[in-house]
Amino acid sequence: MTISSSLNAGVAGLNANANKLASIADNIANSSTYGYKRAETDFYSVVVQGSAGNAYSAGGVRTASIRLIDDRGPLVATDNSTDLAIDGRGFLAVTDISALGGTGTYPVSLVTTGSFRADENGILRTETGQVLLGWPANADGSIGTYPRDTVAGLEPVRINANQYVGNPTTQMRLGVNLPASATRAGAPGDAEVVTVEYFGNLGTSESLEVTFTPTVPASGASNSWTMTITDSASGGAVVGEYNLVFNDSQTAGGTLASVTAVSGGAYDPATGRISLAVGGGAISVGIGTPGETNGMTQLASTFSPVDISKNGSTVATLSSVEVDEQGNLYAVYDQGFTRLIYQIPVVDVPNPNGLIAGNNQTYQISPASGPFYLWDAGDGPTGAVVGFSREESATDVAAELTQLIQTQRAYSSNAKVIQTVDEMLQETTNLKR
């Protein structure tokens, strides 16, 4: 019994070291695989209770293998903006390209890094068919409220590279200095005119003509003007008329004192803005708050449009996409503006090592991993999303080669045990001769 148990222990030792060798070989083979997580094989003794007479029976050894998914490889820079990696804890949500085309929720896998590029349909995917998932942004660039414990709101990230995009003007600023001398008695009362281009909802170029007409008193100075705004998209119709009164005190001279709406959108003294409804859309026009020196002013005798600005542009096409650390995916257009189109969440589970490993460095939720939660990148325990980056393999080749030597020696030693048992059994057989 003791000899045969020694033989069984030697065989168990060979199998255990063969398993160890397999994990080492897998790690070394994937030492250049992006996102690869090292496998580790541990040995556990098997103890068999001795029989009567205190004879010892060898129990042998067994192995257990685990993939250390929470190990992190170093990040390396790339030249592709949608090469993504997680700088810290967490995973990206992906689905298989074969799952697209159906309805409802997509089957989700987890990855820590991926080289995502747009395919012929504009879908961001890897060469192995893993499609990046994210939350789509609303038309105004905001992200809606989505559930964090389900993937129901996630959808494949799609980039429409050849689509025209409008960028209408929504904000405008009028920083104009009006001549104080024009509101004194005896002034000629000539109006001052400034024309500002804006871009409508359909990408057309329109203009607002702003006319400033001074109020000339019989005596003294009125310090007041009538601002009339006409819109080319409305056929030259007046879309707003306002009475502007300026301060003539020693401390606040030349700044706005009050603005009264005669027609058009109301003036908000808290923000210094007028809401105009024009033919090309709605525009918020900033003229400054009462007492503000950087808004409309009335000083000296010179008319000067010192600070006129607006947002918006003509119709644009996509030139590139970029991802920031919060997982926001922005489209960058050739007219020089950006627009948020997706938010990429970071998935976390209580026990990453409990995930089920699949092909192509993908992982599945399991009872051992615990439930998942979708975080904003960088919030909670999760790391930031890094563009232009890939996560290298977590394999340390030097450490693996050291273990390879140890495993080889252990395998040879177990083979020697079997050889010794065989020789002892041969001696026992020779006793009959």
**pLDDT tens figures, 346-360:** 999 999 999 999 999
What is the C-alpha to C-alpha distance for residues 205 and 69, in angstroms, rounded to an integer? 55
Give the whole-number percent of the chain exceeding pLDDT 90: 79
The DSSP secondary structure of 53-83, one letter per residue, reads TS------EEEEEEE-TT--PPEEE-S-TTE
First to last CA, the chain: 23
Mean pLDDT, rounded, for 120-137: 95
Mean pLDDT, rounded, for 156-164: 85
pLDDT the model gives residue 51: 60
Mean pLDDT, rounded, for 281-295: 93
Q: Is the model's pLDDT at 33 over the cut of 90? A: yes
pLDDT the model gives residue 65: 92
Mean pLDDT, rounded, for 60-85: 94
pLDDT the model gives residue 12: 92
**pLDDT tens figures, 88-119:** 999 999 999 988 876 667 899 999 999 999 99
Q: How many CB atoms lie within 10 A of CB 53?
A: 5
pLDDT the model gives residue 433: 64
More confident residue, 103 or 29: 29
Mean pLDDT of the chain: 92
The confidence band for 34, taking pLDDT boundaries of 50, 70 and 90, is: very high
pLDDT the model gives residue 424: 87
What is the C-alpha to C-alpha distance for residues 287 and 249, in angstroms, rounded to an integer? 20
pLDDT the model gives residue 101: 74
pLDDT the model gives residue 52: 58
Mean pLDDT, rounded, for 161-177: 89
Instruction: Using alpha carbons, list the distances in angstroms from residue 56 to 60, 99, 148, 426, 428.
Output: 12, 58, 57, 21, 19
Opening angle at CA 187, ends 181 and 189, nearest 5: 100
Q: Helices (H), strands (E): how many in the chain? A: 2, 32
The two beta strands, 237-246 and 356-357, are: unpaired
Instruction: Using alpha carbons, list the distances in angstroms from residue 401 to 31, 398, 413.
Output: 12, 5, 18
Q: Is the model's pLDDT at 6 over the cut of 80? A: yes
More confident residue, 126 or 337: 126
